Structure formats: structure tokens, C-alpha cells
């Protein structure tokens, strides 16, 4: 019988194990280590003084956790070891896993916690940051009637250093995409589209060499430029999971601007939203009942819990901005207003400190599975509403935006 106890303090987890770390016990330890990392632990301290047997399966679990912690800017150390554990680790040349009495060099102290719009975390100013320039293309008001044609389509390239979202598809022209237009998002040289041709599986393209993702957009927002701020937030410090509206408010406060572009990479506590089920081109009254059930899928309750969510959005905290046709209330209140799309991936932990957005996005698209793509919308109906999308620990990148004149829509 293997017994495991865990104590989590900030980014440190102390895990005490008693019994055998054989195939069965090692699986239990692997789950415990995974849960600790999901909870924000980056420094893992194992107390194995009461372990009577360590098998090859146990060694594999220790090595995997050691490598994962190092990749996240942390470490795994065996702080206490029984003679049986010591013999196996030393004979296997794994002395580096042993805590040699504080042999590690002390890292610089972390930045202090700050509270930004009710979100507690560490704020990092990004030296290259400034205001992003945003193109507003197409006319969202055409969506309900499906009144789109070739003249209302704009080809949008998304090289590294850009982000965007809206309705579009991968293809060469309007005619090529006519039956596949759906939600899309793009950031850091990667783009994903949800085709409406019945496949219901998101497609994605990543920038490589001369290849640049390009989306044929019916309408959308495309921004270019660097982010100015990064907020690493921890749900343990913010009294529960964080609704999208609070993260949007934090993005606006970080930038000190009436409008902001933002990206969130975080563990999801459940996403709320909608996605088109058929292309809006020539669809007639897309939202009329009962046909709306065939045109649009809604999440009646939160979905994709414990996935890693990549959220791309633009937001405003004031009325009457150029973004107004493209945004909707983030929560129950009219403001802040937001347009945000989320891609859900299999779970991937974030490195400690100030991670590279480009590296995170590439890791998600290349090493994790893209599960879904949603237009995030709150369900604020009284009694029956399921509320907003919720997030746990993660990172928020933000920049002020300067919207350009509308293209392909009323001026």
C-alpha cells in the first residue's frame, strides 16, 4: 500500500511518500506530481524516507517530473531518501536528483504580488512594448442575414508579431471558402480556423520559413506590434477562478488605455461560448428560431475544464469607440466589452516567471492537441444562466490599441 501526502505552498510542493514505488505506486505518484504542477508548483520536494522499494517505473516518473520542472524554470529534488532509494539512485547515476544540502544556487527573489482589477499576480513590463495598430475589416452587422459576398472578404496574413480574430477560413478566395467560413484566431505566427463544412475539427497553420498563415476574413480585427505588459496570475491568490470579464478589466488597467488587445494562456475552469455550425454565406436569417439550432452551437454549460485555453481578444472599457461594432459585454455589465475567441488544447503547464508567448504558442500547436475553437460569450440569464468562462492560473499579455478606419464596412 502506497501512501502519498502533499503540501502546497505558493510555487513549492512537498510530497511525502510511504510504501513501494512499484508500477502501481509510481502511477499514483505521477498523478500527484501532475496535480501539483497544475496547481502552480514549480519546486517539487520529495520525502522518500519511508519508501521501501523503487522500481524502474518509479525512476521514470522521477526523471519525467525532474525534466518537466526544469523546463518550467523550477526543480525536483529528493530531500529525504531511504537506504533502498539511495542505493537505486546512486547505482543508476541519478545523484543529481538528491538534495545535496542546498547545493543549488539561490535564484533572485520573485517580483512582489500586485492586484490589477481584482486579479492578483506579478506584473512584468515588456521593454519592446508599445501601442498596437489594429485593422477593423468587414461588417459584423451582416452576419444575422448572411449578407456576405466576394467584395466583403479580406485576405489577412498573420506573420509573427500579429494577432487577430473574427469569421474566416483558410483558402485562396471567397469562392474557395464559401462553405467553410467560421471562427478564427491568430497569434504569434499561428492561426486556427473552425470550418463549417461538417468536419467540426479546427484546422491550424503555423509560420515556417516563407510560409505565413493567411485567413480569408468576412470580418475581424487584425493587430500588429509588441505587447507592453505581462501579468502572471495565480488563482490561489485571487479567491477562486477568474471570470473572463475580470481578466479583460485587468488588460485595460494594465494598458491604461480605452482599448486593448490581449492574449491569455491559462488552465480553463470551463469555457462558455458559441460556434457556427454552417457557413453564414447565403444562410438567410441565421438566428431565427428554430433554424438557429442548425446554424449555431451554444455551450449550455461550461466545457473544456482543465484544458489549456489560448484566448485572443480585443476589448474596450468605454462606449463609442471604433471597436464598438465588433465587441459585446464581457459579463453581466455593459462594460467592459470584448471580442474574444478561445482555442482549447490538452493541458500544458506554463514555465515560471515571464514566459515567451511565441514559445508557448508554438508548444501548444506543435505538441498538444487542439480540441476546439469557441467565440467566448457569457450566459447571464437569470436563474438558468451558466455565467462566464472561468480561468485558473496563467498569463495575460496586453497592449493598448489604436484602431484604424473600418475596411469593407460603413465608415
pLDDT in tens, 360-371: 999 999 999 999
Strand ranges in 252-294 using DSSP code E only, listed in sequence order: 259-270, 273-276
- What pLDDT was estimated at residue 104? 37
Please, which pLDDT band fits residue 346 given cuts at 50, 70 and 90?
A: very high
The larger pLDDT score, comparing residue 92 to residue 54, is at 54
Q: What is the mean pLDDT of residues 385-406?
A: 90
Rounded distance, CA 8 to CA 220, Å? 43
Please, which pLDDT band fits residue 294 given cuts at 50, 70 and 90?
A: confident
Q: What is the per-residue pLDDT across 243-252, written as a single tens digit (0 to 9) for each?
A: 999 999 999 9
Q: What is the mean pLDDT of residues 240-245?
A: 91
Please, which pLDDT band fits residue 239 given cuts at 50, 70 and 90?
A: low
Asked whether the predicted pLDDT for residue 342 surpasses 90, the reply is: yes
Asked whether the predicted pLDDT for residue 411 surpasses 60, the reply is: no
Please, which pLDDT band fits residue 156 given cuts at 50, 70 and 90?
A: very high
- What pLDDT was estimated at residue 238? 56
Residue 408, CA atoms < 13 Å, CB-side half-sphere: 23
Q: Tell me the three cell numbers of residue 341.
A: 475567441
Q: What is the per-residue pLDDT across 54-81, written as a single tens digit (0 to 9) for each?
A: 887 888 888 888 888 887 888 888 988 8
Helix or strand (DSSP H, E) at 17:
strand 12-21
Assess contact for 58 and 48: CB atoms under 8 A: no
Please, which pLDDT band fits residue 97 given cuts at 50, 70 and 90?
A: confident
Find which of 84-88, 232-236, 267-271 is predicted with most confidence, using mean pLDDT: 267-271
Mean pLDDT estimate for the chain: 88
- What pLDDT was estimated at residue 298? 93
Residue 320, CA atoms < 13 Å, CB-side half-sphere: 0
Please, which pLDDT band fits residue 313 given cuts at 50, 70 and 90?
A: very high
pTM value?
Answer: 0.82
Q: Given the C-alpha cell 473600418, which residue does it identify? A: 406
* Crossing angle of the two packed helices 23-38 and 56-71, in degrees rounded to 10: 10
Q: What is the mean pLDDT of residues 121-132?
A: 85
By three-state DSSP, how is residue 107 classified? Answer: coil
- What pLDDT was estimated at residue 184? 98
Please, which pLDDT band fits residue 101 given cuts at 50, 70 and 90?
A: very low
Rounded distance, CA 97 to CA 375, Å? 45
Q: Given the C-alpha cell 491559462, which residue does it identify? A: 266
Rounded distance, CA 11 to CA 158, Å? 35
Asked whether the predicted pLDDT for residue 109 surpasses 70, the reply is: no
Q: Given the C-alpha cell 457556427, which residue does it identify? A: 276
By three-state DSSP, how is residue 180 classified? Answer: coil
The larger pLDDT score, comparing residue 199 to residue 81, is at 81
- What pLDDT was estimated at residue 237? 58
Rounded distance, CA 236 to CA 112, Å? 15
Peptide bond connecting 12 to the previous residue in cis, omega within 30 degrees of 0: no
Asked whether the predicted pLDDT for residue 112 surpasses 70, the reply is: yes
DSSP-derived secondary structure letter, 228: -
Distances in Å between the Cα of 352 and the Cα atoms of 11, 58, 123, 345, 362 are 9, 26, 13, 20, 17
The Cβ of residue 405 has, within 10 Å, a number of other Cβ atoms equal to: 9
- Supply the DSSP string of 319-388, one letter for each residue: TT-TTGGG-EESSSSS-SEEEEEEEEES--PPPSSS--HHHHHHHHHHHS-EEEEEEE--B--TTT--B-
The larger pLDDT score, comparing residue 130 to residue 208, is at 208
- What pLDDT was estimated at residue 103? 38
DSSP-derived secondary structure letter, 31: H
Q: Any residues with CB less than 8 A from the CB of 396 and at least 6 apart, and which?
A: 119, 121, 230, 231, 233, 247, 250, 251, 254, 262, 263, 264, 266
- What pLDDT was estimated at residue 405? 67
The larger pLDDT score, comparing residue 100 to residue 337, is at 337
The least confident of 54-63, 221-230, 297-306 is 54-63
Angle CA 73–75–81, to nearest 5: 175
Amino acid at each position: 500500500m502506497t501512501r502519498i501526502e502533499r503540501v502546497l505552498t505558493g510555487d513549492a510542493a512537498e510530497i511525502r511518500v510511504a510504501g513501494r514505488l512499484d508500477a502501481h505506486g509510481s502511477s499514483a505518484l505521477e498523478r500527484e506530481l501532475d496535480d501539483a504542477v497544475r496547481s502552480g508548483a514549480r519546486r517539487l520536494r520529495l520525502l522518500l524516507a519511508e519508501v521501501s522499494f523503487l522500481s524502474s517505473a518509479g525512476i521514470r516518473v522521477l526523471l519525467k517530473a525532474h525534466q518537466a520542472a526544469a523546463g518550467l524554470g523550477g526543480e525536483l529534488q529528493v530531500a529525504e531518501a531511504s537506504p533502498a532509494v539511495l542505493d537505486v539512485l546512486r547505482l543508476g547515476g541519478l545523484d543529481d536528483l538528491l538534495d545535496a544540502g542546498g547545493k543549488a544556487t539561490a535564484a533572485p527573489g520573485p517580483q512582489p504580488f500586485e492586484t490589477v482589477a481584482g486579479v492578483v499576480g506579478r506584473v512584468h513590463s515588456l521593454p519592446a512594448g508599445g501601442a498596437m495598430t489594429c485593422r477593423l475589416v468587414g461588417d459584423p452587422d451582416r452576419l444575422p442575414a448572411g449578407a456576405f459576398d466576394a467584395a466583403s472578404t479580406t485576405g489577412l496574413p498573420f506573420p509573427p508579431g500579429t494577432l487577430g480574430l473574427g469569421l474566416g477560413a483558410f483558402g485562396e478566395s471567397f469562392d474557395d471558402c464559401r462553405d467553410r467560413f467560421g471562427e478564427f484566431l491568430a497569434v504569434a505566427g499561428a492561426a486556427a480556423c473552425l470550418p463549417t463544412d461538417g468536419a467540426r475539427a479546427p484546422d491550424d497553420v503555423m509560420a515556417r520559413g516563407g510560409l505565413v498563415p493567411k485567413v480569408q476574413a468576412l470580418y475581424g480585427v487584425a493587430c500588429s506590434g509588441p505587447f507592453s505588459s505581462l501579468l502572471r496570475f495565480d488563482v490561489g491568490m485571487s479567491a477562486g477562478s477568474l471570470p473572463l470579464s475580470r481578466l479583460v478589466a485587468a488588460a485595460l488597467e494594465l494598458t491604461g488605455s480605452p482599448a486593448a488587445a490581449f492574449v491569455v494562456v491559462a488552465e480553463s475552469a470551463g469555457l462558455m461560448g458559441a460556434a457556427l455550425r454552417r457557413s453564414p454565406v447565403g444562410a438567410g436569417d441565421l438566428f431565427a428560431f428554430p433554424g438557429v439550432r442548425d446554424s449555431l452551437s451554444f455551450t449550455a454549460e461550461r466545457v473544456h475544464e482543465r484544458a489549456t485555453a489560448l484566448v485572443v481578444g480585443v476589448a474596450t472599457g468605454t462606449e463609442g469607440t471604433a471597436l464598438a461594432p465588433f465587441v459585446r459585454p464581457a459579463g453581466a455589465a455593459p462594460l467592459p466589452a470584448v471580442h474574444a475567441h478561445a482555442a482549447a488544447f490538452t493541458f500544458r503547464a506554463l514555465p515560471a516567471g515571464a514566459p515567451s508567448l511565441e514559445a508557448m504558442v508554438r508548444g501548444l500547436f506543435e505538441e498538444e492537441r487542439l480540441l476546439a475553437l469557441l467565440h467566448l460569450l457569457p450566459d447571464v440569464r437569470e436563474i438558468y444562466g451558466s455565467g462566464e468562462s472561468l480561468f485558473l492560473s496563467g498569463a495575460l499579455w496586453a497592449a493598448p490599441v489604436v484602431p484604424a478606419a473600418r475596411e469593407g464596412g460603413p465608415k
